Amino acid sequence: MSSILHRAKETLLTEIQGIQDVLERLDGHFEEAIELLFACQGKVVVTGMGKSGLIGQKIASTLTSTGTPAIFLHPADSHHGDLGIITNKDVVVAISFSGETQEIVQMLGHIHAIGVPCIGMTGQVNSTLATNSTVHLSIAVDKEACPLGLAPTTSTTATLALGDAIAMCLLEKRNFKAEDFAVFHPGGSLGKKLTITVGDLMSSADRLPLVDENTSVHQTVHVLSEKLLGIVVITNKSGQVTGVFTVGDLMRLIEQRKEFLHEPIVEFMTCNPKMVSAEILAAKALHTMQTHSITCLVVVEKDKKPVGIIQIYDILRAGVY
């Protein structure tokens, strides 16, 4: 094994062990922290210096996007007027591996003065931050992945993982759903996955290729050619979907039979086609198509009456992947 691969594997294994150490220490203190955050009537103020601050920014962002309003407060800025952003309805999450970061320790007096709960995340249980926090969460690790033992590596990874665990527990307690997530992510491909429905993209009304079960294959082929969707929806006397007929079906008929144009389409249709409702997310429809190796779905109402056709190309063109 090359020295590069050896160092890479050592780094990853060390960081995995660091997360495992945090996992094994989870106890009632973690539950107490979750209850504090869940009961917060204001916002969560996350703070940390240096690498801890960068991790804190990501934790604050994850909390905000999953239903727990949070901001990041830089400890240095807090001493130049920004402390005023903390109110008595908030909860502070302070991150310092040593628990002795000067800028963080100096904030504790103000935090206590206004009676704000503080969740301290440190690697030292007897540190100033740990002993002056409402709840202490340990982010202690056996060693950093840095071969010099200097650069925060394992400790920051463990802190980030613990922050994710906090966010996911709060998400579950708030019964936060994909629909809620979409509200906070309206842009980009993620927003499209969570907001665009089949009804937004389907071909409907005059573009919908419909024929009755007793329609001849000849007439069905005319509709197939006229609508240019590559599929015709077959319905019974009640107007319910009973099957579909595609360009692929026509090609197979041409190969296999000499006489079929004047026979009823019900003899050659594909029965029980895959169907969806207009209200489901386009991303879910795409998944159904990919799972069953098909390129379109019939869109129906609750009584199985057709209202549209959704094609895989429509979904992909809309930027839903």
Same domain, 53 and 166: yes
Per DSSP bridges, beta strands 118-122 and 70-72 are: unpaired
Examine residue 302 and state whether it is found in any structural domain, yes or no: yes
- Strands lying side by side in the sheet with 241-246: 210-212, 231-235, 241-246, 270-271
Write down the residue that tokens 């906090």 correspond to. 166
Examine residue 186 and state whether it is found in any structural domain, yes or no: no
As a whole number, mean pLDDT of residues 16-31 equals: 95
Same domain, 138 and 261: no
Q: List the domain range (segments joined by +) for residue 170.
A: 3-176
pLDDT at residue 129 in the model: 96
- Judged against a pLDDT cut of 90, whether residue 11 lies above it is answered with yes
* CATH assignment of the domain containing 61: 3.40.50.10490
* d(C-alpha 36, C-alpha 90), whole Å: 10
What does each C-alpha distance from 85 to 44, 46, 78, 93, 300 come to in angstroms? 11, 12, 9, 14, 52
Same domain, 111 and 160: yes
Question: Is pTM, for the whole model, over 0.85?
Answer: no
Please state, for a pLDDT cut of 90, what percent of the chain lies above it: 62
pLDDT at residue 195 in the model: 72
State CA 188 to chain mean position distance: 13
